[in-house]
Amino acid sequence: MKNAHLQSSAKQLEMMAQGHDTNLNPSPSWDFQALAAAGGIKADLDDMIAYAQNQINLRNSQLYEKISLTHQSTFQGAPNGEIGLFWMKTNVQGKSFHWHNGQTGGYSSFMAFEKNRKIAIILLSNAYKNPTEVGMQ
């Protein structure tokens, strides 16, 4: 992940799409330190693809064994769901996939992957509208 960062440089800000609030009015990007690990990391699509590939071991990472620990379920959630260290796990129509979403000022994201089939979906949006419903389709 070559472009992931917490605080945006002037060059990174120039490259970012304008964020929008729920009414599609322009909204600034958030830089916040107190909760940086819970939504402060900014990454581009190339970085998110690399991250997804590591989750399903397409890169044969030496870290895959440790990455897999984040996939383990810790709590039973909704009737078809579980919660782990970083991921929610949902079982639908005999298929099991891990997913997570996030929103900050003007932006939202969704990632899901199915380890057995080695597939992933990544949705990045420059609007504060939750893409989870679309991603679950």
Under-70 pLDDT residues of the chain? none
Number of folded domains that form the chain: 1
Q: Which pLDDT belongs to residue 20? A: 94
Reduce the DSSP state of residue 5 to 3 states and report it: strand
Distance CA 1, CA 48 (A): 8
Q: For 1-137, where are the alpha helices, taking DSSP H only? A: 10-15, 45-55, 64-69, 132-136
Q: Which pLDDT belongs to residue 111? A: 96
Task: Give pTM, 2 decimals.
Answer: 0.86
Domain range for 121 is: 43-136
Instruction: Please report whether residue 127 resides in a domain.
Output: yes
Q: Which pLDDT belongs to residue 75? A: 86
Instruction: Please report whether residue 71 resides in a domain.
Output: yes
Instruction: Please report whether residue 17 resides in a domain.
Output: no
Instruction: Please report whether residue 34 resides in a domain.
Output: no
Q: Which pLDDT belongs to residue 120? A: 96
Question: Distance of CA 34 to CAs 40, 55, 99, 131, Å?
Answer: 9, 27, 24, 25
Strands 119-125 and 26-27: unpaired
Instruction: Please report whether residue 86 resides in a domain.
Output: yes
Q: Which pLDDT belongs to residue 39? A: 73
DSSP 24: S
